[in-house]
Amino acid sequence: MSRTIVDARGLHKHFGSLHVLKGVDLQVAERELVFVIGPSGSGKSTLLRCLNRLEVPSAGQVIVDGIDMLDPRTDINHARQRIGMVFQSFNLYPHMTALSNVTLALRKVAGKSRAEADALGRAALVRVGLADRAGHTPGQLSGGQQQRVAIARAIALEPRVMLFDEPTSALDPELVGSVLEVMRALRESGMTMIVVSHEMGFARNAADRVLFMDHGAIVEEGPPALIFERPAHERTRAFIGQIQRH
């Protein structure tokens, strides 16, 4: 077993009176692809967002690549460079070209010169198959292309882990494939990935492990074949039955 790169223990998150995470533990090994499924409101996104401290857990511990993410002495901006994140709604900067979207953090956080950043940015756009769209603004790109630019923006910083928060949920069905293609290539390059998604086909042939979350806790986890074919818990079975019906 290769070394653990994400180590979250005893995560709790309260939003006012809402108890969204109820003591979640998650360990992810280097080069592993972990899939998180579960009904909406089950805490999947919150779990993901606690890992790069977009959300501060009410209790618990998060260590990513040896860095204590919740320690106030941690330089969080530096630490976040190692954790790429892709959002459901892409969140590209609408006033910038695709290339500038990718190079902003390279220049401002990683301290690269404009020439270096442009070269790295173009290389990242090549990896997501959008070399010819570098000068386009998000408004001129399809949803699938926007999401691939968002992936390029994250991988250009050479993160150790990539977090995907429902990356294909906002896409028209015919555009989903291109994004999954990029994720598959990323997976093959050895990237550690944590993916919140309901793309079962992708989970089946790319995931090492599937977690099923419900009501703020991990109900069960295991290899995709086991979770999808022979889930141990009734709740998992019901959920999987529901999403497969559609």
Q: How far is the CB of 237 from another protein (least distance, A)?
A: 34
Query: From the CB of 89, what's the least distance to another protein, in Å?
Result: 5
Strand partners, 28: 6
Q: Map residues 48-67 to x or -, x wherever contact with another protein holds by CB under 8 A.
A: ----x-x-------------
The stretch near another protein (CB under 8 A) out of 18-26, 104-112, 168-176, 183-191 is 104-112
Cα(242)–Cα(109) distance, rounded to whole angstroms? 43
Beta carbon nearer to another protein, 63 or 105: 105
Q: Tokens at residue 65, please?
A: 């690549």
Q: Is residue 139 at the binding interface for another protein, with CB under 8 A as the rule? A: yes
Of the pair 93, 204, the CB lying nearest another protein is at 93
Closest to another protein by CB, 5 or 48: 48
By CB under 8 A, residue 150 contacts another protein: yes
CB 126 within 8 A of CB 148: no
CA-angle at 8, arms to 5 and 12, nearest 5°: 160
Alpha helices in the chain (DSSP H): 44-51, 76-80, 98-108, 114-127, 143-155, 173-188, 200-206, 224-229, 234-245
**Residue 112 makes contact with another protein by CB under 8 A:** no
Q: Per CB under 8 A, does 210 bind another protein? A: no
Minimum Å gap between C-beta 136 and another protein is 10
- Helical segments of 8-97, H only: 44-51, 76-80
Side-chain half-sphere exposure of 68, counting CA atoms within 13 A:
7
**Which residues are near another protein by CB under 8 A?**
52, 54, 77-81, 83-85, 87, 89, 91-95, 104-105, 108-110, 137, 139-140, 150, 153-154, 157
